């Protein structure tokens, strides 16, 4: 098929435009991926080398979907186009030997529980763990917004001290924070423009541009400096300004940086039912009262099915949603489990829905941030695998030594670290000498030394095991505390040829999870954030109650609170526009008081041991097109499930 077969404007304009830069403002479900694929097909058919085309996406799932769509093109060379996340590109660049020598840092990313250990180590000198965590967040913000490029940064003496200690810890442990990857890669490129290690592309296409922070966006500019640049985004789908310091102004004001920008907007929502489009527009206009609707309904999609339901309790909500999905799959011929997407504002609710679906006999899988490494058994197995593959991995050793202790054995570890530095050796070398009896252990470290001895005993039987046997040993079958990481590892074994490959794939999956798509035969349960870029025939949004949607931190200024509400509104907008046919918006009228407090829900009043809840205020913003809310019992009765 030729690149322009069947194409009409505006999709033809996107694919055919020969200049640079090109900005595509694309609302949800407007067909941007298809237009991007045709643009790449045109480049390939004109003789452009596939390896000189870079398609960057925000998530690993979206990047892999680009690879899949490229293969479907059938255009020669499409499978050799570089489709990647920005973090993967940075990781590859920073791991090159010449780059390592230049920056004197190791691009070994820390994952969640390793960061927690590091913060505990730093906390002693900075007023405790909470204060150290806040300082770390500030530095991640500085890197993301490129404030570290400003002369005299940082100026606060406490921040200067923390910065020195943070870099000392990271450099000694040969590690890097995930948020450091793009700014460190950018710094290297800016300082070494003629380096052979810096990749060069003739064409760069950056998707979800509104979810990139300033460091990401400037890095994209640097990668495209010798070629053309296409950016695709939508400010109404920017949902990472809090989590990643994303800069939606980057897509809105793009033309100010690039005066010759060519714009092609996409407005027709070819994914969602017309009723959902009206609801989405009504919702998002509360962020932009003076702006016209951003997406337009397509009549042939039909109105779809929309249910707004309030249940008596959270437990009723959980069982009713699972029963509805069971009924839905049984009564909608041809709909596969992978075409059902459950989004939950709270992990507790999502887990419970998943478990109830499994009890009903369905394949269901949950996807929340690093959920597979919450329990001690799961973390220990991960450390053991890391140290089996990389015996000198310092973050894995450090976390192993403190995993089973409430303060990570910080004081004892600092004594070991100081003694090792005084002798010019690593902590592991010192511990080996202590174990051999050639060196005396520093005072008050016997518990830590014993923990190291336990490590040696645990590692010994793992050597030489087959991949499947290794997983059984690290994460035993039948243990619920490690079931999630075990499931991921078993999927990896199918393609991995060695423990090292299992570890590499696990790290990638944990840091940048690849979510199953519609083609996979599993019901997906996840947070609203995780749903970005996904599509499903049936979407259920659970936990639509005040306090969960929106979620607001205490102590915010009125301006910060308004910004947070607008971002949460965009998050809800993204969630409801995932559907291609059926949408369920679900809430509960009550919850056990303790559960409500733990989940940060707004309690209208207390009634005995229960908290009275209210539906999310966003539910009143979805317009006249929305249906009246039903009770859970009415919903069951009307549909017969």
Q: pLDDT digit string (tens) for 71-121?
A: 788 888 988 999 999 999 999 999 998 898 888 899 999 999 999 999 999
Per residue in 156-213, pLDDT tens? 899 999 999 999 999 999 999 999 999 999 999 999 988 999 998 999 999 999 999 9
Whether residue 266 contacts residue 294, with contact meaning beta carbons closer than 8 Å, is answered with no
SS (H, E, C) 123-184: HCCCCCHHHHHHHHHHHHHHHHCCHHHCCCCCCCHHHHHHHHHHHHHHHHCCCECHHHHHHH
Per residue in 340-398, pLDDT tens? 999 999 999 999 999 999 999 999 988 876 678 989 999 999 999 999 999 999 999 99
Instruction: Write down the pLDDT at residue 611.
Output: 97
**Chain mean position to CA 536:** 19
Per residue in 538-565, pLDDT tens? 999 999 999 999 998 878 888 989 999 9
Closest CA to 544 of 501, 482, 587: 587
Q: Distance of CA 604 to CAs 405, 559, 561, 590, Å?
A: 39, 25, 20, 10
Instruction: Write down the pLDDT at residue 514.
Output: 63
Instruction: Write down the pLDDT at residue 70.
Output: 78
**Chain mean position to CA 227:** 29
Per residue in 217-260, pLDDT tens? 999 999 999 999 999 999 999 999 888 899 999 999 999 999 89
> Mapping DSSP to helix (H, G, I), strand (E, B) and coil, where does residue 109 land?
strand
Instruction: Write down the pLDDT at residue 208.
Output: 92
Per residue in 304-337, pLDDT tens? 999 999 999 999 999 999 999 999 999 999 999 9
Closest CA to 525 of 375, 372, 360, 340: 340
Q: Reply yes or no on whether the pLDDT at 616 is more than 90.
A: yes
Q: Reply yes or no on whether the pLDDT at 446 is more than 80.
A: yes
Q: Is 199 exposed, middle or buried (0-12, 13-18, 19+ CB in 10 A)?
A: middle
Instruction: Write down the pLDDT at residue 288.
Output: 87
Selected residue with higher pLDDT from 361 and 292: 361
Instruction: Write down the pLDDT at residue 155.
Output: 81
Q: Work out whether strand 610-612 and strand 605-607 pair parallel, antiparallel, or are unpaired.
A: antiparallel
Whether residue 635 contacts residue 320, with contact meaning beta carbons closer than 8 Å, is answered with yes
Instruction: Write down the pLDDT at residue 73.
Output: 80
Tokens standing for 629? 């809310």
Instruction: Write down the pLDDT at residue 370.
Output: 63
Of all residues in the chain, what percent carry a pLDDT higher than 90?
79
Instruction: Write down the pLDDT at residue 515.
Output: 65
HSE of 583 in the Cβ direction (CA atoms, 13 Å)? 28
Confidence of residue 612 (pLDDT cuts 50, 70, 90): very high
Selected residue with higher pLDDT from 286 and 59: 286
Instruction: Write down the pLDDT at residue 154.
Output: 87
pTM of the model: 0.90
| Mean per-residue pLDDT, 469-481 | 94
Q: Reply yes or no on whether the pLDDT at 607 is more than 90.
A: yes
Tokens standing for 347? 């992990």
Per residue in 486-496, pLDDT tens? 988 888 887 78
Sheet architecture: strand order including 610-612: 590-592, 610-612, 605-607
Instruction: Write down the pLDDT at residue 140.
Output: 92
| Mean per-residue pLDDT, 22-41 | 94
Instruction: Write down the pLDDT at residue 369.
Output: 64
Q: Reply yes or no on whether the pLDDT at 63 is more than 80.
A: no
Instruction: Write down the pLDDT at residue 309.
Output: 97
Q: Is 468 exposed, middle or buried (0-12, 13-18, 19+ CB in 10 A)?
A: exposed
Mean pLDDT score of the chain: 93
Cα distance between residue 544 and residue 626, in whole Å: 15
Tokens standing for 375? 């329990």
Selected residue with higher pLDDT from 431 and 554: 431
| Mean per-residue pLDDT, 433-454 | 97
Instruction: Write down the pLDDT at residue 623.
Output: 86
């Amino acid at each position: 098929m030729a690149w322009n077969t069947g194409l009409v404007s505006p999709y033809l304009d996107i694919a055919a435009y020969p200049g640079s830069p090109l900005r595509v403002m694309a609302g949800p479900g407007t067909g941007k991926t298809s237009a991007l694929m045709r643009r790449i097909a045109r480049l390939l058919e004109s003789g452009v080398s596939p390896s000189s085309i870079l398609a960057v996406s925000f998530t690993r799932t979206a990047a892999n979907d680009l690879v899949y769509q490229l293969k479907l093109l059938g255009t020669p060379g499409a499978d050799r186009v570089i489709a990647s996340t920005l973090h993967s590109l940075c990781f590859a660049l920073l791991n090159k030997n010449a780059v390592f020598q230049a920056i004197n840092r190791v691009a070994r990313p820390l994952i969640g529980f390793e960061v927690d250990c590091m913060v505990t180590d730093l906390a002693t000198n900075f007023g405790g763990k909470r204060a150290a965590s806040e300082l770390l967040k500030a530095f991640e913000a500085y890197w993301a917004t490129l404030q570290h490029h400003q002369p005299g940064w940082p100026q606060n003496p406490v921040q200067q001290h923390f910065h020195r200690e943070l870099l000392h810890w990271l450099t000694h442990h040969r590690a890097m924070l995930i948020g450091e990857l793009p700014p460190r890669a950018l710094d290297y490129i800016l300082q070494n423009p003629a380096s052979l290690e810096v990749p060069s592309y003739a064409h760069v296409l950056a998707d979800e541009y509104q979810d990139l922070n300033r460091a990401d966006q400037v890095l994209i500019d640097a990668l495209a400096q010798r070629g053309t640049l296409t950016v695709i985004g939508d400010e109404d789908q920017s949902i990472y300004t809090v989590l990643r310091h994303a800069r939606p102004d980057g897509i809105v004001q793009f033309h100010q940086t690039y005066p010759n920008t060519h714009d092609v907007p996409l407005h027709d929502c070819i994914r969602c039912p017309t009723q959902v489009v009206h609801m989405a527009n009504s919702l998002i206009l509360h962020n932009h009262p003076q702006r016209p609707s951003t997406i337009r309904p397509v009549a042939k999609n039909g109105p779809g099915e929309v249910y707004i339901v309030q249940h008596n309790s959270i437990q009723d909500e959980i069982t009713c949603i699972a029963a509805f999905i069971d009924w839905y799959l049984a009564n909608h011929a041809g709909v596969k489990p992978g075409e059902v997407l459950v989004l939950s504002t709270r992990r507790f609710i999502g887990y419970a829905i998943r478990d109830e679906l499994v009890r009903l006999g369905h394949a269901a899988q949950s996807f929340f941030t690093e959920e597979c490494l919450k329990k001690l058994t799961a973390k220990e197995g991960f450390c053991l695998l890391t140290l089996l593959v990389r015996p000198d991995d310092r973050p894995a050793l450090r976390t192993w030594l403190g995993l089973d202790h409430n303060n990570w054995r910080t004081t004892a570890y600092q004594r070991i670290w100081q003694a090792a530095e005084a002798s010019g050796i690593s902590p592991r070398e010192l511990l080996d000498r202590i174990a051999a009896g050639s060196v005396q252990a520093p005072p008050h470290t016997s518990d830590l030394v014993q923990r190291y001895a336990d490590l040696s005993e645990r590692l010994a039987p793992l050597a030489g095991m087959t991949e499947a046997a290794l997983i059984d040993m690290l994460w035993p079958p039948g243990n619920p505390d490690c079931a999630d990481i075990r499931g991921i590892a078993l999927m990896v074994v199918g393609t991995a040829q060695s423990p090292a490959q299992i570890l590499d794939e696990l790290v990638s999956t944990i840091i940048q999870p690849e979510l199953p798509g519609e083609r996979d035969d599993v019901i997906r349960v996840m947070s609203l954030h995780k749903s970005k870029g996904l599509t499903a025939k049936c979407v259920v949004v659970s936990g639509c109650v005040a306090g969960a949607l929106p979620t607001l931190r205490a102590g915010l200024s009125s301006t910060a609170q308004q910004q947070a509400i607008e971002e949460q509104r965009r998050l809800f907008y993204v969630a409801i526009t995932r559907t291609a046919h059926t949408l369920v918006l679900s809430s509960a009228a009550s919850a056990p008081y303790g559960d409500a407090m733990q989940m940060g829900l707004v309690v209208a009043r207390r009634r005995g041991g229960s908290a009275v809840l209210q539906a999310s205020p966003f539910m009143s913003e979805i317009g006249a097109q929305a249906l009246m809310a039903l009770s859970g019992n009415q919903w069951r009765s009307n549909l017969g499930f």
